[in-house]
Amino acid sequence: MSEITLIEAIRQAMDEELARDERVFIVGEDVGKRGGVFRATQGLYEKYGPNRVIDSPLAELSIVGVGIGAALYGMRPICEIQFADFIHPAFNQIVNEAAKMCYRSNGEWTVPLVIRAPYGGGIGGGLYHSQSVEAFFTHVPGLKLVIPSNPADAKGLLKAAVRDPNPVLYLEPKKGYRLIKGEVPPGEYLVPLGQAKISRPGQDLTLITYGMTHYYALKAAQMVAAEGIETEVIDLRTLLPIDKETILQSVRKTARALIVHEDNRTGGYGAEIAALLAEEAFMDLDAPIKRLAGPDVPAVPFSHPMQDWFMPNAEKIAAAIRELAAF
């Protein structure tokens, strides 16, 4: 088994689902002839034709709207939003239509839709190509929200998302597209939505994270292990619905929790985890719940030093681990 990149795993997942189920189709900007701006759909247009890999106008509202309509008619659309930063025009479609359809039709109508969107900074993308948008959508019941951190999960989660009867927002850490490599299991497999994974066991504290920061978290955990601090790292994988049990079980053991994400701090997803721990694990805590998150500025700055200042990295995470372990 050889290693593949994160983006190759995503491409493989779509390829296999397109081949498996003729109801599956892809729609988005430049996904067809160009193979996507990140090449996530490269070769699929040639393989499955223009009716199943559809180049859309530059209108995110319509990409998602088309997806919802097709899903209601029994199709299995995969909508690609070129950058998560551009998902905002489709917010109404996602929140008011896709997320509520099953509930308001009393289960008669479902929207089996996947929306893929690359998120996150650190690639010199500046204000409009670096955003993290998960917190806007984890507030919306009726949606599922998935963020993979490695090729094996990325493939299994995307295939599971395509087959899920609910609308799934699938956010991809674009900095990791070619940086994060790993083996994927051979043959057909799914990674179930809603299950977190302990990617590194440890006794001294629990580090809860997802996506790109999970990659840095593992490096940080390795750094502090040389100093005798054993960090348990949880990769959430699915943010909505949240896997409470894995988080609570770990924190009940270690009694200390550090939450890391790239999205800015205030109202970020970490606040939800912190609230969960405060409500359900208070009597097991030995230290304040800590968050390491992007600073509360309107966007990831374009200037490289400023981008570095914004982005979490292994050193910043290791420092936060040391501080919490010493409390």
> Which of 226, 298, 304, 305 forms a contact with another protein (CB under 8 A)?
226
> Which of 22, 286, 296, 308 forms a contact with another protein (CB under 8 A)?
286
Q: Is 100:107 a contact under the CB 8 Å cutoff?
A: no
How far is residue 271 from each of residues 11, 138, 172, 282, measured CA to CA in Å? Answer: 33, 11, 21, 15
> Which of 57, 73, 106, 282 forms a contact with another protein (CB under 8 A)?
282
Is 222 among the residues that bind another protein (CB under 8 A)? yes
Active site residue 129: yes
Cα-only R_g, the chain: 19
Q: How far is the CB of 107 from another protein (least distance, A)?
A: 41
> Which of 103, 128, 309, 327 forms a contact with another protein (CB under 8 A)?
327
Q: Which is nearer to another protein, 144 or 256 (CB)?
A: 256
* Cis bond upstream, residue 241 (ω within 30): yes
Q: How far is the CB of 288 from another protein (least distance, A)?
A: 9
Q: Which of 129, 214, 261, 304 is catalytic?
A: 129
Q: Which is nearer to another protein, 73 or 282 (CB)?
A: 282
Is 1 among the residues that bind another protein (CB under 8 A)? no
Stretch that binds another protein, among 93-101, 148-156, 168-176, 222-230 (CB under 8 A): 222-230
Q: Is 131:86 a contact under the CB 8 Å cutoff?
A: no
Backbone CA torsion sign across 311, 315, 316, 317: positive
Residue type, 252: R
Q: Is 162:22 a contact under the CB 8 Å cutoff?
A: no
Draw the binding track, 287-306, toward another protein (x: CB under 8 A; -: no contact): x-------------------
Draw the binding track, 238-277, toward another protein (x: CB under 8 A; -: no contact): -----------------x----------------------
Beta-strand (E) ranges in the chain?
A: 3-5, 24-28, 53-55, 76-80, 114-119, 144-146, 168-173, 181-183, 197-200, 205-209, 231-235, 238-240, 257-264, 290-294
Rounded to a whole number, what is the distance in angstroms from the first to the last CA of the chain?
Answer: 43
Is 223 among the residues that bind another protein (CB under 8 A)? yes
Q: Which is nearer to another protein, 227 or 296 (CB)?
A: 227
How far is residue 61 from each of residues 15, 40, 72, 143, measured CA to CA in Å? Answer: 25, 21, 17, 17
Residues near another protein (CB under 8 A) = 222-224, 226-229, 255, 282-287, 322-323, 325-327
Enumerate the active-site residues. Answer: 129
